[in-house]
A and B are shown apart, each in its own frame.
Chain A
Amino acid sequence: MHEPAPPPPAPDSVLSEPLAVRVALTALAVLFLGLFVLLPLVVVFTEALRPGLAAVRDALADEDAMAAIRLTLLVAAISVPLNAVFGVAAAWAVAKFEFPGKSLLVTLIDLPFSVSPVVSGLVFVLLFGAQGLFGPWLRAHDVEIIFAVPGIVLATVFVTLPFVARELIPLMQEQGMADEEAALTLGAGGLRVFLTVTLPNIRWALLYGVLLCNARAMGEFGAVSVVSGHIRGLTNTMPLHVEILYNEYQFAAAFAVASLLALLALVTLAAKSILEWRYADELNGSRRH
């Protein structure tokens, strides 16, 4: 999301700070990042591995942990593709056409980012909960949404909705539509234009958005916690399972499951950095200066 760090200019006596200042500032920045960003990561892995690798394996092989992992994968497998399709459609509409209210639409797409996770979960309780708007109807028809998997999916879709659209809109706006128009002139149909011209142009940004969307979908805690009901083996996702284990003072098991999530975050971050370094130009539009 930022410049892929061009090599900084050689230190120049006029255009840079004295060496001692540079060293001090760098040390301070490294210390700050180390304390607030790196140390928590280190702790997750050391705490998880302290009782040994076998304990980690046992904690992850536990029935409830396995159920939580399966549910997390299921929720991500549903919500990420949905939001990817939405993101592509929204980017196509916003980037390729002019219409009134466009900037309002873009702001609305961003909205879930500014809402507290707890509020994001609560809105679905107000709609589908026992006291909710559709509560009586749902109960009459024996449909469970809150404290069940559908509610978890809805909350996850809500919080991850902007990710793909946010990456694609600026990029596709920047790319314009000359390529697509050329293909149309040559007689290609709409779908063919999209698949053979647009999609190759946006593939890395799409992947980037999907990665971020997936990381958040698997890691979301607040919104999911409100709608889940924390039923072990049924409505517990991995982050919720971490919470339950931690509150039961099963620290080793909590950190074992947490380390799996941390690993996911690291892989996401590595993939994201590689994309940023290698395909900087093709992600260009996603970097808003």
Chain B
Amino acid sequence: MSAAALVPAAPAGRRRASRRGVLPGFGLTMGLTLFWLSAIVLLPLAALIAKSTGLGPSGFARVLGDPRVLAALRVSFGVSLAAACINAVFGVLVAWVLTRYDFPGRRLLDAAVDLPFAIPTAVAGIALASIYAPNGWIGGLVAPFGAKIAFTPWGILIALVAVGLPFVVRTVQPVIAESDREAEEASATLGASRLRTFRRVLLPPLIPAILTGFALSLARCVGEYGSVIFIAGNLPYVSEILPLLIVVKLEEYDYAGATGLAAIMLAISFGMLLVINLIQAWTRRRTGDA
């Protein structure tokens, strides 16, 4: 629900158990953990992987050879990438303003950043659809110029920007809060302009956090379903996203197709998770911080 919750935890358990097994309950809690994790997460995911390997290479080739699937992949990835880029820029701006400036309503705004996490996706979906529909508050403003936002890929972009924003803000914010003000001071004393100080002193330490936020935002956007389908229009080849196509295939009883697509999405998730973990490891190595 929150960005930080998605950032793989730092291995904080550096202070090792001095005497292993002093505390009771390892068997019980570990058993419970492994049982629940296996029953709820691992077994079902294993079923998906097993079913999809049953498709074989030819089955996957058929899934991936479908132009509608390729179009959905392009839409999902293209729009998610664009949304994550927008979020990387505006997320840093929002994080900066919220941590560095004081203005009335700052705390309220800070709490509001988490709204996309807290609001059910279907609720956000119908709200965005009605705002950007041709008769909506904003859709109505651009309609006279012949522009359409909802029910086009632009609508998907709007929904994904809203969904992914908190990830960047919440990963970048703590780094800005902890940034070294002395380095800034030194830079200013040495005659650097404010912009140059930002570019050369403030920005570099933020890069790993921005990358992590970008990746988290991208991962979430590619899989997002609820807030997109209402505003997207869901036109095959144009504004149909990958998760929706899985649902469509399921409704057509095309289990093989749905399974193949789901396996591809799962592989993408694993890939993104790996990338995020690598960024984290790289950051820790660079900063020497556990």
**What is the interface of chain A, defined by CB distance below 8 A to chain B?**
1-3, 5-9, 11, 14-18, 21-22, 25-26, 28-30, 32-33, 36-41, 43-44, 47, 82, 85-86, 89-90, 92-99, 102-103, 105-119, 122-127, 129, 131-133, 154, 157-158, 161-163, 166-167, 169-170, 173-174, 176-177, 180-181, 184, 189-190, 193-194, 212, 215-216, 218-222, 225-226, 238-240, 242-243, 246, 251, 254-255, 258, 261-262, 265-266, 268-270, 272-273, 285-289
Contacts and interface: CB of A to CB of B under 8 A. Distances in A.
A175 B17 CA distance: 12
20 contacts: A3-B99, A7-B102, A8-B100, A26-B97, A32-B93, A36-B158, A39-B137, A86-B32, A86-B33, A95-B13, A118-B265, A122-B250, A126-B255, A170-B9, A177-B23, A212-B2, A220-B120, A226-B250, A239-B122, A270-B111
A109 B8 CA distance: 10
Q: Chain B at the A interface: mostly helix, strand, loop or mixed?
A: helix
Nearest to A157: B40
Contacts of B230: 243, 246
B101 A22 contact: yes
Contacts of B128: 40
Interface of B: 1-13, 15-17, 20-26, 28-30, 32-33, 36-37, 40-45, 47-48, 51, 90, 93-94, 96-103, 106-107, 109-124, 126-128, 130-131, 137-138, 158, 161-162, 165, 170, 173-175, 177-178, 181, 184-185, 188-189, 194, 219, 222-226, 230, 243-244, 246-247, 250, 255, 258-259, 262, 265-266, 269-270, 272-273, 277, 289
B181 A119 contact: no
Contacts of B25: 92, 96, 190, 194
A17 B196 CA distance: 12
A162 B181 CA distance: 36
B75 to A, nearest CB: 15
Contacts of B100: 8, 16
Given A177-B23, A269-B118, A98 B131 contact: no
